[in-house]
Amino acid sequence: MGCGRVGSTLAQTIEARGHSVAVIDQNPDAFRRLPADFDGKKVTGVGFDRDTLVQAGIEDTYAFAAVSDGDNSNILAARVVRETYGVENVVARIYDPHRAEIYQRLGIPTVATVRWTADQVLRRMLPLGATDEYRDPSGHVRLVQIDYHPGWVGRSVRRIEEVTGCRVAYLARFAEGVLARPDTVLQENDELHVLLQAADADAVERALTHAPHTKED
């Protein structure tokens, strides 16, 4: 739902991967953002209207993305699709970060556009500690990109996990993702992405943003 820049890009990407796609938008002119060779459905209507959804093929849908420019429309459409049609793979774009947290706890995955953009800009300017990349619906488990003291460079993933209690999910090295093994060594300029319990986030940040206590750490 939504054929703006995000919606049209998603539709083209998903179709290029071999999937069938339907795009819903209230404004028929929005479909001009799609290429001439786009084979998917283009449905003019409101994304949370049941007749519109049925026309788009909601009854046979595997996944639904609500990416219009309205928070209320996105979350309403996401709830209708999840609760009425039983589509499990649903995500909503939300501009208000406070709303995003609420709906995430209700089990509706959200992308908080403003906060995510601000976090990404700030991360390129200042050390931030930990920046959320994903939270499970309960809010108890977080995937975060986390800053670290230069003293951790040269330490193994095994040692980082032993000291902090977190799980190293992966490293981004020279703009490429690297699945970390216990003996993987943190290198200079690596981006560190870890899984942690939300309740432990402050302790993990303190441990990693300060120099290791000993050479062995």
The pLDDT value given to residue 95: 84
Lowest mean pLDDT among 34-43, 83-92, 162-171: 83-92
User: In the prediction, which pLDDT does 217 show?
Assistant: 47
Instruction: Say what the pTM is.
Output: 0.60
User: Region 164-188: what's the mean pLDDT?
Assistant: 93
Using pLDDT thresholds of 50, 70 and 90, give the confidence band for residue 121: low
Q: Lowest-pLDDT range, 24-38, 48-62, 84-98?
A: 84-98
pLDDT at 15 over 80: yes
Query: What is the percent of the chain with per-residue pLDDT over 90, rounded to a whole number?
Result: 58
Name which of 12, 22, 11 is nearest 44 in CA terms: 22
pLDDT band of 74, cuts 50, 70, 90? very high
Task: Name the pLDDT band for 134 (thresholds 50, 70, 90).
Answer: confident
Whether the predicted pLDDT of 55 surpasses 80: yes
How far apart, in whole angstroms, are the C-alpha atoms of residue 189 and residue 84?
Answer: 47
CATH code of the region 127-208: 3.30.70.1450
- Give the Cα separation of 50 and 48 in Å (integer): 6
The predicted pLDDT at position 116 comes to 62
CATH superfamily of 5-112: NAD(P)-binding Rossmann-like Domain (3.40.50.720)
Query: Hey, what's the torsion of the CAs at 211, 212, 213, 214, to 10 degrees?
Result: -130
Chain-wide mean pLDDT for the chain?
Answer: 87
Domain boundaries, the chain: 5-112, 127-208
Confidence at 207, pLDDT banded by 50, 70, 90 = very high
Mean pLDDT of 156-185: 93
Q: Regarding predicted confidence, which is higher, 51 or 108?
A: 51
Over 80: is that where the pLDDT of 43 sits?
yes
The helix, strand and coil proportions of the chain, stated in percent and rounded to the nearest 5, come to: 40, 25, 35
Q: Which two tokens stand for residue 10?
A: 């998603």
CA nearest to 112, candidates 95, 126, 127: 95
Percent of the chain topping pLDDT 70? 90
